[in-house]
Each structure stands twice: as structure tokens, then as C-alpha cells.
Structure 1
């Protein structure tokens, strides 16, 4: 199992790599930097010494070589001040249309249409595959859980992710259990609200069972079909109604009693910046997985 120190090191490495991704916006990098500051141990106190040099405030002296040197210094001193400076330098280069920094047209992430209850032609996202290939159980579970945030994916594709991951990672799921931090699954769809979904995501962290994951897919589908903000599909076609949900009342209007109090504040799964990063993939998505995995 990856230690916190190792995850922090990997989060830092991936963040610095994300600076080279032209698809990643300046605003998204700033938001991810803000999120990183909320995770204890990720950021260093700003320091300058004989090897780790000070930043230069004069844009006239900013060159790609200067940017590379500052990235190296950030590997030794991963401080808010140094990273904000790197983002600023990068943004100036983007405005100048500097080669290697100019935004490019994002590649299409379209997926084939799913069939039945599981996408028969399912292909894992690059983010999920990356962590499965690396083989660390904690980050694999985190990456799989974060697939629920991809609004392009419907229930069949998420079930495909579950089946694919289960087939490639023995022991990915625990036996279903209940306790103070992993309470029962509610079958009454009238109680399947946004707050209930957030609670079940929290319980999944404590008890990463297949039954809980499948239940979250069902709740998510109901919320999608009722066009609840944050759950509606981003696909152009209308999502099909999930079996057995046609008679349920709108989740947006369903009662929220007994659910709000237990939801953790600033739940990372609901962070819009995290969701945007996951859609881009690559190093910036890996940063999210490591930051979320650090929140136990």
C-alpha cells in the first residue's frame, strides 16, 4: 500500500508534469494548487538557497530555459510561491504563443455507445488504466471511485469499469459490511437525493464493496435521469431511464432529512476543479487521484 509520503511525492511530480500539458488551463492549475494546499504535507515552506534560486519578477528575462530551471527548483522546494510563479510564467508564454506552451485542440474523448447493463466494448479511461497498471490498491480504488464523476459515462459504462477493474485487480473489493462509518444501503428511491449519494460515496471509502459501488451507480442514474445539477449527462443524447426508477419522484424535490448532517465538508469528489481535471486526463488527473487518496 502506498504511504502518504510516496503519494505526496507522486502528486508533486504529476503537478509539475501537468505544467507541460497545453490542454490544462491556467485557471485549472490555480484551482488544483489551492486544493493541494488543503492536504497536509503536500506544500513546502518557500525557501531560497545556493541551489534553489529565487524567482525573477521581470517577465523580460523569462525564457523556456528559465521555466525549466524553476521547475527543477520546485522539485526541491515545492512551495506555493514557487508554483504560483511557474503558473504565471507559463501563462505569459501561452499569451505570447511560445512554442510548446500554446493551447492545442483537445483530443476527442468520445466513447462508444454502451449495450445492455454493461458496455461490452468497454475501454478503461487512461487514468484508471494508469493506476491499475501501477498496482497500488488504494490509488486504484480512488481512481475507480472517481470514474463516478465523469458525466460522460452512463451506468453501463461504469459497470464496465467495475467489471474490467475487478478482472484485472484481485481483491479490489471488500465484503460488504456496515458500521458507524459505512451505514446501510437504502432501497427506498424516495430517499435517493444528492445528499444521500454524497453519504454513500463517503461510506464507500470505508467499505469498498462491489455492492456499494453498484448501488452508487443506481443512485447516480436516478439523479441523472431527473437532471439534478451536477449529475445530468453531458452527452447529446437523452439518457435512458434506469429500470425501476420511472415511478420515483424527482430527486431534486425529494426530502433531504437525516442526510445533510453527516456529509463531510468540502468533499473532494464534488470539487468542480477535480472533475475538470479528470476529464482532461493525464498528469493533471493523476494529481487528483493522489490528493483524494490522501483524504482518508
Structure 2
């Protein structure tokens, strides 16, 4: 399993790679720099020396070679100041329509429509497949958990992701257990709120069991069918009608029990910037997986 030092190194590498992705916005990069600061050890203190040269604040001097040099310096000094400068230089180049920096029309992320039959032909997302291919259990589990954040994916596709990961990764799921940091699953759908969902995501980190993952899919579907903000599908298709098994959906949206457990300071998964990065995929999505995996 990857160490924190290894994952920090990969956060840095993938972030610098993401600077070259024209689909990644300036604002998203800034938000991920802010998020990276919350993970101890990811950022360096800013330094200027014989290897990591000073930042040039004059835009007249900025050209692609200067950008490349600053990227190299960032491999030696991954500081907030240097990253924000790189983002600023990149943004100026985008405004100038500099070749290699100009945003292009985003590629389609369309997926096959889910089928009602058990023979649904599931294809893993590029992010999930990347981490399964790499073979590290912690980041595989993190990537699978983050599939729950992809609002393009419905319940059938998440069931497909679970089955595919189970078939391709030995020991991905633990035996279901309950404890101080992995509480019980509630069957009362009136208590399936956003807060309850966030708690169960936190418990999944402690007890990464198939039963917990399946329960999260079910809670997510209820919130999705109830049109709860943050869960509604981003697909262009017409909204689904809640099934009879979700007859308590309106109650789940309205009911707010007074005696709920406090939500731990956890849920980086719900960070809007992380969700946006996951939809883009590639290096910027890998940054998110590593950042989330660092929060244990």
C-alpha cells in the first residue's frame, strides 16, 4: 500500500501534469491548491535558491519556456506561491490564445445508458480503471468510493462498478462490522438525509465493506430521486420517477431528526472542486484521489 510520502509525490506530479490539460479551468486549479494546503506535507515553504529561481512578476517576460522552467522549479519547491504563479502565467497564456494553452471544446464523457437487465454491459470510468491497473488497495478503494460523487452515474452503473472492482481486485472489500467509527446502517428511509449519507461515507472509510457500499448506493438513489441538491443526475435525460421502494423519498428530504450524530470533519468527497475534477478525469482527477486518500 502506498505510503503518505509516495501519495504526496503523486499529488505533486499529477497536479503539474494537470497544468497542461486545456480542459482544466483556472478556478478549479486554484481551488485544488487551496484543498492541497489542508493536507499536511503536500506543500513546501516557498524558497528561492540556486536551483529554484525567483518568480518574475512582469508578464512581458512570460513565454512557454519560462512556464516550463517554473514547472521544473515547482518539482523541487512545491509551494503555494509558485503554484499560484504558474496558474496565473497559464491563465495569461489562455487569454492570449497561446498555442497549447487555449481551452478547447471538452470531449464527450457520455456513457452507455444503463439497462434494466442484469446483463448491463458495464465499462469502468477511466479514473477507476487507472487505479485498479496500478494495484494499490488504498487508492483503489478511494477511487471506487469517489464514483459515488459522479452525478452522471446512476444506481445500475454504481452496482456495475462495485461488481467490476470486486472481480478485478482481490480483497477489495472487508467483512462488515460495526464500531465506534463505523456505526449501524439504518433501515428507516425517513432518516436517510444528506447528513446521514455523509456519515455513512465516513464509516465506509473505516469499514470498507460491500454491505456499506451497497447501502450508500441505495441512500444516494433515494436522495437523487427526491431531487436533493448535490445528488440530482447531470444527464440530460428526463428525471426519474421514484420507485415504490422509495415511497418515503419526500419524507427523507423533509425529515430532520433532532438526535443525529455529529458529522466528523471529514467529507472532502463533497468538495465541489473535487467533484468537478472527477468529471474532467485524467491527471486532475488523480490529484483528487490522492488528496482524499491522504485523509484517513
TM interval, short-chain normalised: over 0.9
1:16 is aligned to: 16
For structure 2, the residue ranges without an aligned partner over 5 or more in a row are none
Deviation, structure 1 residue 113: 1.1
TM-score of the superposed pair, with normalisation by structure 1: 0.97
Deviation, structure 1 residue 117: 6.5
Please give the root-mean-square deviation of Cα atoms over the aligned residues, in Å.
1.2
Q: Secondary structure at the match of 1:47?
A: coil
Q: How does 1:179-198 map to 2 (within 5 A)?
A: 179-198=179-198
Deviation, structure 1 residue 250: 3.4
Distance 1:47 1:171 in 2: 43
The verdict on how the C-alpha distance between 1:289 and 1:192 changes in structure 2, with shifts beyond 3 A counting, is: same
Distance 2:208 2:126 in 1: 22
2:49 is aligned to: 49
1:151 is aligned to: 151
* 2:275 equivalent to 1:282: no
2:34 is aligned to: 34
1:61 is aligned to: 61
Deviation, structure 1 residue 251: 2.3
Distance 2:149 2:13 in 1: 24
Deviation, structure 1 residue 249: 3.4
Do 1:4 and 1:294's aligned partners in 2 also have CA atoms closer than 8 Å?
Answer: yes
Distance 2:251 2:190 in 1: 8
Deviation, structure 1 residue 242: 4.4
The verdict on how the C-alpha distance between 1:271 and 1:251 changes in structure 2, with shifts beyond 3 A counting, is: same
2:253 is aligned to: 252
Deviation, structure 1 residue 85: 0.3
For structure 1, the residue ranges without an aligned partner over 5 or more in a row are none
Deviation, structure 1 residue 243: 5.3
Distance 1:37 1:195 in 2: 25
2:224 is aligned to: 224
* 2:165 equivalent to 1:177: no
Deviation, structure 1 residue 21: 0.2
Distance 1:226 1:253 in 2: 10
Deviation, structure 1 residue 115: 1.5
Q: Secondary structure at the match of 2:71?
A: helix
1:142 is aligned to: 142
Deviation, structure 1 residue 247: 4.0
